[in-house]
Structure 1
Amino acid sequence: MSDDMNAAGGPAGLGRRAFLTAAGSSLLLPVATRGQTAPPALKSGPAALPGPVESIDLWPGGAPGMPRTPPTETVNERSTDPAKLNDRAVLGITRPRLVVFRPARPNGAAVMITPGGGYRWVVVDKEGYELGRLLAARGITVFVLFYRLPGDGWAAGPNVALSDAQRAMRLIRHRAKDYGIDPARVATMGFSAGGHLCADLLTRFATPTYRGIDAADRLSARPIAAAPIYPVISMSAPHAHAGSRELLIGKDAPRSLEDAHSPHLNVPADAPPVFLAHAEDDKTVPVENALLLRAALKAKGVPVETHLFNEGGHGFGLRFTIGKPVAAWPDLYLNWAKGLFL
């Protein structure tokens, strides 16, 4: 894999090495936050770029509904050459938190990112930190959400990740002045199973999934715009991603539970505008997932911009787009966002 992205591979020609290097330095302006759980990181081992250090715990008194046997947070390095490019995944999250990427010159907009991982883990780099650096280089304040996983036995069950996403959106708005952002300009973006969480939030932002604990919970969890990228959407055969479905609702879930957690079946009239991107050759999460959501949004009159690419596979993020038409998706997203919250 090349360490450089061609001119079409990053927003407005921003090369991959350029935005990674720049965002790894002064663009992030990291500030350590006392009393907060540190961002997920390996205890030892090389890292290609400096990691973020600023984080915000979602639940000051601890996450609600702790399993009787709490999971243990573990970060696995999946890269064959982590000295060059990390590919980490975190499992067993018990202290869900937002990891912050501050731009050098905030433009007032914010994006909350929900990385994928099939609801088995949460991807750190490929669908989290790399996007955080790219968007921060464009003046956007980015919050990468490390959410709890439904297979770990939390009391909220299949709503546990949505509870974290709702709470996170409210906290971002509540602390908007701390980050120089406009609370009305907070969007969300998610990938794969994180795309399902993104879609779940854009459709069920007003659904009560936890008991409020402070003033932040009186704020809206509705994002100003949402971008599910190669998202898991349907929880029913034949288009459901089997692994995400089993961990979210269980292998033998009834149709009623499938429907309750299939975002395309729960679109409200006041859902925010949506940007969709998916590759036609995705063999992991069929492109029909994006098409189902698009059709449901159109039926409710919700603005939706859709980009389908002939080649790209699943999980392309940024690093696997080089030399493919799908490399255009970040530019397309930023152009779309200019009319909404940028």
Structure 2
Amino acid sequence: MTTASSTSYAPAVPEKHGMTPIAIPAQPDAIELGTGQPPNASAPEAWHSEYGSMFARNVVIATLTPFLPDPAKATGTAVIVAPGGGFMSLSMENEGWDVARALANRGVAAFVLKYRLKPTPEDLDDFAVAIRAMLAGPRPSDWHDPATALRALAPQIADARAAFALVRSRASEWTIDPERVGMVGFSAGAMLTVATALVGEDAKPAFIGDIYGPLTAFEVPDDAPPLFIALAADDGVIDPSGFPLVESWRAAGRPVELHFYEQGGHGFGMYPKETTSTDWFDSFVNWMRMHGLVEHPEATSP
């Protein structure tokens, strides 16, 4: 068990992509979710480094890695963290482990979801070509049929549902209130987070965070969870020309908070940058606090 003490719809890949293959890191605390292996798996799981961070590809076995807070600081709240990567890779460090450690340091139990991905070429040069092709094609923000978009995420939604089931089944062991389990995702992981809240059936996140994810409008039920959104005006990948997702939540009468930063680009995650987008994490925690999610269970309000 880990205790507290990239890039999604990734930035445009340059001609010389700068990816370096690395050995699969040890993940002794990762728990297999039992959602099976996709029938179209064509290459073994592989990892590479880029932008000073670690990325996973060709994930065929979904896992969940716990990052638990010091028991003295535990708030009883938990967050499932979904890294991004265009469903072709996962930014496991910048949008996964680093986020989880920061949450655990605030007393929030965090669980990094390594969800199953689309198969990609084994060779990194060929993978870079595939990323360029993906970025040149339709983006999530270009999709005009939300129902089709959600159906395309069936395997990943199944992984998220299994993650929620696991966390709630071990809530007592991990000192978690099963009614206070939320989810935060980045880019593709943000799309998965919103999809899990809308069609994840029994998952039912208590709250969700959408960090530079698509802003597509959806039909939002009147019991949708509170939503926190953060993205930059100069994103370059997700087109922030409007906020239909915000309006969908507002039309349903559900709580939503939007942070629209002047600068930050796409995939800023936990990278230190000289832009106000770096403040998103503190804003997210403060938003959780406003909803009573980061107070110690025994604390009383004045």
TM over 0.5: yes
Q: Aligned to 2:29, which of 35, 54, 57?
A: 54
Q: Aligned to 1:331, which of 282, 298, 301?
A: 282
Which secondary structure does the structure 1 equivalent of 2:173 belong to? helix
The residue number in structure 1 matching 2:194 is: 199
User: What per-residue deviation string (whole Å, max 9, x for no partner) do you get for residues 7-62 of structure 1?
Assistant: xxxxxxxxxxxxxxxxx9x635xxxxxxxxxxxx95379xxxxx763122111xxx
Q: Which runs of at least 4 in structure 1 moved beyond 4 Å after TM superposition?
A: none
The residue number in structure 2 matching 1:43 is: 23
Q: Aligned to 1:87, which of 53, 67, 75?
A: 53
The structure-2 alpha-carbon separation of the partners of 1:68 and 1:281, relative to structure 1 and needing over 3 Å to count, comes to closer
The residue number in structure 2 matching 1:232 is: 214
CA distance, structure 2, for counterparts of residue 227 and residue 204 of structure 1? 16
Q: Aligned to 1:109, which of 77, 85, 96?
A: 77
CA distance, structure 1, for counterparts of residue 23 and residue 206 of structure 2? 37
1:304-315 to 2 correspondence within 5 Å? 304-315=256-267
CA distance, structure 2, for counterparts of residue 185 and residue 52 of structure 1? 26
Counterpart AA for 1:146: K
Which secondary structure does the structure 2 equivalent of 1:194 belong to? helix
User: What per-residue deviation string (whole Å, max 9, x for no partner) do you get for residues 199-253 of structure 1?
Assistant: 11111122xxxxxxxxxxxxx310110001000244xxxxxxxxxxxxxxxxxxx
TM-score (structure 1 length as normaliser) = 0.67
CA distance, structure 1, for counterparts of residue 24 and residue 221 of structure 2? 46
CA distance, structure 1, for counterparts of residue 283 and residue 75 of structure 2? 19
Which secondary structure does the structure 2 equivalent of 1:148 belong to? coil
Counterpart AA for 1:338: R
* 5+ long unaligned stretches in structure 2: 6-20, 121-150, 295-302
The residue number in structure 2 matching 1:135 is: 103
Contact 1:162 1:197 in 2 (8 A): yes
The residue number in structure 2 matching 1:99 is: 65
The residue number in structure 2 matching 1:300 is: 252
Percent identity between matched residues is: 31
User: Alpha-carbon deviation of 1:71?
Assistant: 3.5
The structure-2 alpha-carbon separation of the partners of 1:179 and 1:121, relative to structure 1 and needing over 3 Å to count, comes to same
The residue number in structure 2 matching 1:269 is: 222
Which secondary structure does the structure 2 equivalent of 1:315 belong to? coil
CA distance, structure 1, for counterparts of residue 196 and residue 241 of structure 2? 20
CA-based RMSD: 2.3
Contact 1:281 1:312 in 2 (8 A): yes
* Structure with more contact order per residue of length (Cα contacts < 8 Å, sep ≥ 6): 2
The residue number in structure 2 matching 1:223 is: 205
User: Alpha-carbon deviation of 1:266?
Assistant: 3.4
Contact 2:210 2:228 in 1 (8 A): yes
1:67-82 to 2 correspondence within 5 Å? 67=39, 69-79=41-51
* 5+ long unaligned stretches in structure 1: 1-23, 29-40, 46-50, 80-85, 207-219, 235-263
CA distance, structure 2, for counterparts of residue 229 and residue 193 of structure 1? 9
Contact 2:4 2:102 in 1 (8 A): no
The structure-2 alpha-carbon separation of the partners of 1:69 and 1:279, relative to structure 1 and needing over 3 Å to count, comes to closer
User: What per-residue deviation string (whole Å, max 9, x for no partner) do you get for residues 170-197 of structure 1?
Assistant: 2111111121111111010000111111
Contact 2:58 2:119 in 1 (8 A): no
